[in-house]
Amino acid sequence: MTKKIKDINFRIIGLYLFVVLIAVGVVVKIVKIQFSAKINTSSQPGYKEIDAPRGNIISDDGSLLAISMPLYDVHLDMSVIDSVLFEKHVVEISDGLANLFDDKNPSEYEQLLRIAKKDKKEYKLLQNNVTHNKLNTLKKMPIFKLGQNRGGLIPAPRPNRENSFGLLAERTIGVLRNVNPVGIERAFNQTLSGVGGRFFKRRIVIKDTVTSKPITIWIPYKQDAEGNKLPRAGNDVITTINTDMQDVAEKALENTLLHHDADWGCVVLMEVNTGHVKAIANLQKQEDGSVRENFNYAIGKHVAPGSTFKLASVIAGLEDGFFKVEDSVRTYGGKFTYPGGSVMRDSKVGLYDKITIEKAFIISSNVGISRIIFNNYKSTPTAFTDRIYKMGLSTPLKLELPSPNNFSSPNPNKTGWSGTSLPWMSIGYEMKLTPIHMLTFYNAIANKGKMIKPIFTSAISRDGKVIQERTTEVINPAICSKATIDAVIPLLIGVVEKGTAENIKSGNYLIAGKTGTIVTNFTARKKQAQNGKEQERKKYQASFVGFFPADNPKYSCIVVINNPKENGHYGGSVAAPIFKELADKVYASDMNLHKALQKTDVIADLPKIKQGSVAEANKVLNELAINTTSTNELWMVPQTTKDTVFLKVRKVEKDLQNGTMPDLRGMGIQDAIYLLETYGLIVESIGCGAVVLQSISKGDTFKKGAIIKLELA
């Protein structure tokens, strides 16, 4: 009896422990579920935001400079694919994947698919960075064409921004990134971004192949969910950049940096009347000897303008009535000591003494220009700085592209002004301006005194239609009087025709501009001037700024080359040739810059006319406004006098109709072939030009299918 009681007690205890364990398990499960629900409220299927395709950045001729080209990370959900269907098509799919991606052979792809199918992988990576065209090919393959729910194909789009022209205008087009975005991409981010959408997705947890830790992935769940909302693409930004001009500017700049072993350089080409920046190149020499765009020097680098600033100094004196360009100034042989002992030198010493102000400007005499400013403004230096600043050289441009504002200019009423500030400022030292700021000033001279803001974009468009246009913004309607403009333009032309930039003189059009050469390590330069000893190697900056054609300006341009170490360092020999190369390209391609051919321009000797079609000859002669007498027949023989071309009847077709070979000499090959083949002859020709010899002589009979050989010259 006692033994039975003990057995019963053990059973009761065992049952009790079993129930307790079940209860504990249930409680733990409930707590776990509740805890998971609290921290993963977003883990249930639901709508997730998706980014909108970014708008395009477009050149002035419609070429795409920056475009969002979709790329996809493609995964497979092998758990939804029917096993029978899989076995039926796995070999075919493997062959297709091998041909499409060319990174594995068919057997390797088949092994990958079979393992994923065996493990029922819900999110097996197939390929990263798949293009839109390749994705469309995938969607046409067996099984995959059934869609995500049955075919298991899961494409996940990823952001991808491409510059169609590579590094062309890279810093101006810009880069959008979390840290330090630049250029148009940054300035017009909101315009380009568009409006995001949403898509119904579900959460899955997979093991990270590197860390073996679980990671959460959200994948599209319901393609046809009612709440799905497609994103709206961003608007397009139409720029003022011309790809052909930009290409020439960058190649010329690259060649110059390499030839002169310079640190960096920039080029900006702008339309005079509109302020449209047609080309902007910024290149820096890399340690490996290559060049690339790392910084937008044209709008972000504040440097002393050097001798290009002498134009502003001359304009100030002319406006204040202190001198005229034909007045004289002593240069003391190109070396002059100012109060305090600072010595001003010209690039070449001992050549001139007393010269006109015009000559001083054309040869870029530091002594000449600084003396006319110092002598007239030394007692009232604020009158000079005020005049300079009224011309817009102290006002930040506030460009549409983000750029640093490190502008600095001397002020006689503030700390830092000294006895040498006025003469050194007059030749482009003491102050710091960006290259594009200096270009804006010269552009105003070309624009008859009207200063306008440089712009990089002309319009915003959506679906190919312009929705917003950018208009030209006037900074200053008149930086100086028309009389002063008329006085200084010949000086700028003189610099190119007979001055420091004579090497870029063109026989086709006039260039107006100014060279600049400064020592950038100015402290070492002043020490050398004071004690006559070289402290360190001088570092130069060469520049040229101007406009063309000078008699009717359409484009202005600035070139700056920093620290050229080989093959010269002056603005005329280093920077000006880039200006000329770009100007020649623009002049050759822009027919509006060429003067129309007038009747009086036609040379006395009339053009040589080939025998042939009356209609074609009349068309050309009428376009050239050349006197002509014609015939109603189809074919002619030309006879040219001093001022008239007579088109006389040529009855070649009548001879051919009679089966007789006419005299073809002097006839163009196209007309000869047309006639002869019309009457069944086979034509063989050598040479080019007009017919000089024919294998079937004039008057000989011929049969259809006969071969006639023509020699041309």
Q: Is the pLDDT higher at 581 or at 666?
A: 581
Segment among 21-35, 97-111, 509-523 with least mean pLDDT = 21-35
What value does the mean pLDDT take over residues 667-689? 80
Q: How far apart are CA 626 and CA 644, in angstroms?
A: 7
Length of the chain: 713
What value does the mean pLDDT take over residues 99-112? 90
What per-residue confidence (pLDDT) applies to 612? 67
Segment among 131-135, 237-241, 322-326 with least mean pLDDT = 131-135
Cis peptide before 549 (omega within 30 of 0): yes
* Look-up of token digits 């006692």: 2
User: Strands, DSSP E only, in 12-134?
Assistant: 46-50, 57-58, 64-68, 71-76, 124-131
Contacts of 390 (CB under 8 A, 6+ apart): 479
Q: Is the pLDDT higher at 587 or at 640?
A: 587
pLDDT in tens, 628-656: 766 666 666 666 666 677 666 566 777 78
Contacts of 364 (CB under 8 A, 6+ apart): 307, 310, 346, 347, 495, 499, 500, 514, 515, 517
What is the pLDDT confidence band of residue 596, given thresholds at 50, 70 and 90? low
pLDDT in tens, 522-580: 554 444 545 555 445 789 999 999 999 999 999 999 999 999 999 999 999 999 999 99
What is the pLDDT confidence band of residue 458, given thresholds at 50, 70 and 90? very high
What per-residue confidence (pLDDT) applies to 603? 45
What per-residue confidence (pLDDT) applies to 445? 98
Q: Is the pLDDT higher at 64 or at 548?
A: 548
Angle at 106 between CA 103 and CA 112, to 5 degrees: 80
Q: Is the pLDDT higher at 402 or at 354?
A: 354
What per-residue confidence (pLDDT) applies to 601? 47
What is the pLDDT confidence band of residue 237, given thresholds at 50, 70 and 90? very high
Q: At what angle do helices 83-101 and 132-139 cross, to 10 degrees?
A: 150
Closest CA to 252 of 275, 268, 276: 268
CB 638 within 8 A of CB 648: yes
What per-residue confidence (pLDDT) applies to 164? 67
Q: How far apart are CA 137 and CA 97, in angstroms?
A: 10
Q: How far apart are CA 3 and CA 539, in angstroms?
A: 110
User: Strands, DSSP E only, in 425-539?
Assistant: 451-452, 457-462, 465-469, 474-476, 512-519
Q: What is the CA radius of gyration of the chain?
A: 39
**What is the bridge-based pairing of β-strands 57-58 and 64-68?**
antiparallel
What is the pLDDT confidence band of residue 35, given thresholds at 50, 70 and 90? very low
What per-residue confidence (pLDDT) applies to 515? 97
691 three-state secondary structure: strand
What value does the mean pLDDT take over residues 654-681? 80
pLDDT in tens, 270-324: 999 999 999 999 999 998 888 888 899 999 999 999 999 999 999 999 999 999 9
Taking CA atoms, 90 is separated from 94, 108, 135, 144, 229, in Å, by 6, 12, 18, 11, 35
Closest CA to 373 of 315, 416, 429: 315
Sign, CA torsion 410/414/418/423: positive
Q: How far apart are CA 623 and CA 638, in angstroms?
A: 17
What is the DSSP code (8-state) at residue 189? H
Question: What's the start-to-end Cα distance of the chain, in Å?
Answer: 137
Q: Is the pLDDT higher at 647 or at 64?
A: 64
User: What phi and psi, each to the nearest 5 degrees, are found at residue 468?
Assistant: -155, 130
Mean model confidence pLDDT for the chain = 83
Name beta bridge partners: 612: 636
What value does the mean pLDDT take over residues 603-612? 62
User: What phi and psi, each to the nearest 5 degrees, are found at residue 360?
Assistant: -60, -40
pLDDT in tens, 363-373: 999 999 999 99
